[in-house]
Amino acid sequence: KPCSHLMNPEPKCLDHELPIQEVGLSLSRLDSRTLSEGFIITKEGLYLGMANVQDLLAAITEMQILAARYANPLTLLPGNVPINSKIDYLIQKKITFTACHFDIDRFKPYNDVYGYDLGDEIIRLLGSLIVSYSDTEIDFVGHIGGDDFIGLYQSKNWMERCTSILHGFDSKIIQYLSEADLS
């Protein structure tokens, strides 16, 4: 019999530079037969190799373990190692981005007066605001430590996003302050 009876005439082909999350999402939409056959990895449209779902799951699991190892325990956002890796990657690939540093003014005196528990809530508040106003597909948010965060924005409207973060923080911080301090 000709091999064309056994082969898939339209195999799944994925470029080697496609982020692993996108590979997983793309493969999750395939039928089980196609998944069991594996997929072709290409470079500039040419055959580079084959992979299977088990390889993909192993790679994703390894990435999650590394991400958890280097995550900030308070916010669970990427810490310094992934931040530096992301910056190095963007520079190496010559990808245009804007780095924004977020720091809460007068945070140490706040912690001294209100305590570390409320201070931690404020840090988590800022982290969640930065994430919510970022495009998780192309932007990167990291927690340097304490009240310091970094946003690596590929979004063209990064300034609007940062302005929204500042306004969001200003509107929410008042619930964490006493009337006397507000006045």
121 and 179 Cβ atoms separated by less than 8 Å? no
139 and 159 Cβ atoms separated by less than 8 Å? no
pLDDT (0 to 100) of residue 34: 67
Q: How far is CA 144 from CA 82, 85, 119, 180, in A?
A: 10, 13, 16, 31
pLDDT (0 to 100) of residue 53: 80
pLDDT (0 to 100) of residue 85: 93
Cα–Cα distance measured from residue 130 to residue 149, given in angstroms and rounded to the nearest whole number: 9
- pLDDT tens for the 183 residues of the chain, in order: 788 777 777 888 888 888 777 887 887 777 776 677 788 899 998 999 988 888 888 888 887 787 778 889 899 999 999 999 999 999 999 999 999 999 999 999 999 999 999 999 999 999 999 999 999 889 999 999 999 999 999 999 999 999 999 999 999 999 999 999 888
Eight-class DSSP state of 14: E
Segment holding 146, helix H or strand E: none
pLDDT (0 to 100) of residue 118: 95
Cα–Cα distance measured from residue 26 to residue 178, given in angstroms and rounded to the nearest whole number: 50
Tell me the whole-structure pTM to 2 decimals: 0.70
pLDDT (0 to 100) of residue 31: 75
pLDDT (0 to 100) of residue 78: 94
In this structure, what token pair is assigned to residue 130?
């930065």
